[in-house]
Amino acid sequence: MKKIFLHEAVQVVLSDKTGGVSEGAYKSLNLGLHVGDKPLSVEKNREIFASYFGVSANELCFMEQVHGSFASVAKKGETLKADALITREKNLVLCVMVADCAPVILYDNDKKAVAAVHAGRKGIFSGIIANTVSAMQREFGSEPKNMRSYIGVSIRSCCYEIRGEVLSEAAERFAYAVESRNGRHFLSLHTILKKQLYKSGVKDIIDDKICACCDENYFSYRREGACGRFGAGVKIL
């Protein structure tokens, strides 16, 4: 677990594999209820994650992540089908779960609004970042110039090899983020993310730089196949 500084008025925590109760492929702090782990273990792990924020698990707000591009206003006690949650409520911790996809946190220092974004390849390709920034503008009057962002641990171009249709689309739309080595092709999702954030007007970007697939402290679908999910949470103080 590590705490990420975005601003003194917001708390951002990134979990890792350690400190939980799950076993086997999910060992140990798996936050995902949808990956085949025992629900009771995940509930306990979520309580542990909540304790990092000094709250109880019912203040955590997860989403049913569908690799889409829809950003929704968070509702306490509801698991909305979305890939980004936004809020101005102080009593909620917005949570995103990942195992290679990028957890992205946004914080608007002026309007005291936050977002937790599930930014995988599909979501990034279909505009989840621009949609989240727009949702914060529309719902809260946020201005991108007042936003700070954090890109959490995720698979990096050292490990994220692409081929076939994904390579074709990436080469066509995001050629600047495709790296070729020894006849193989790798995608730099964080390069696209940074460009999209910048284009949306968010210029204050913290990039964690750790690769989930290289670092065994984190779950990685690419490295492990069936595995747990680590996560990032954000809470307004």
For Zn ion, the binding residues (CB under 5 A) are: 156, 158-159, 211, 213-214
Nearer to Zn ion, 60 or 162 (CB): 162
Sheet of strand 60-61: strand arrangement = 2-7, 10-14, 230-236, 93-98, 60-61
Taking CB atoms, the residue at the shortest distance from Zn ion is 211
- Residue 119 C-beta: closest distance to Zn ion, Å: 17
Q: Can you list the alpha helix ranges (DSSP code H) found in 99-208? A: 121-125, 128-140, 164-173, 189-199
Contact (CB, 8 A) for 233 and 93: yes
Nearer to Zn ion, 57 or 166 (CB): 166
- Residue 93 C-beta: closest distance to Zn ion, Å: 28
The residue count for the chain = 237
- Residue 123 C-beta: closest distance to Zn ion, Å: 20
d(CA 96, CA 124): 15
Backbone angles phi, psi at 105, to 5 degrees: -115, 135
Taking the mean position of all CA atoms in its chain, how far away is CA 135?
A: 17
- Residue 222 C-beta: closest distance to Zn ion, Å: 9
Nearer to Zn ion, 177 or 211 (CB): 211
Nearer to Zn ion, 120 or 144 (CB): 120
Nearer to Zn ion, 89 or 215 (CB): 215
Which of 202, 16, 1 shows the shortest CA–CA distance to 114? Answer: 202
- Residue 62 C-beta: closest distance to Zn ion, Å: 26
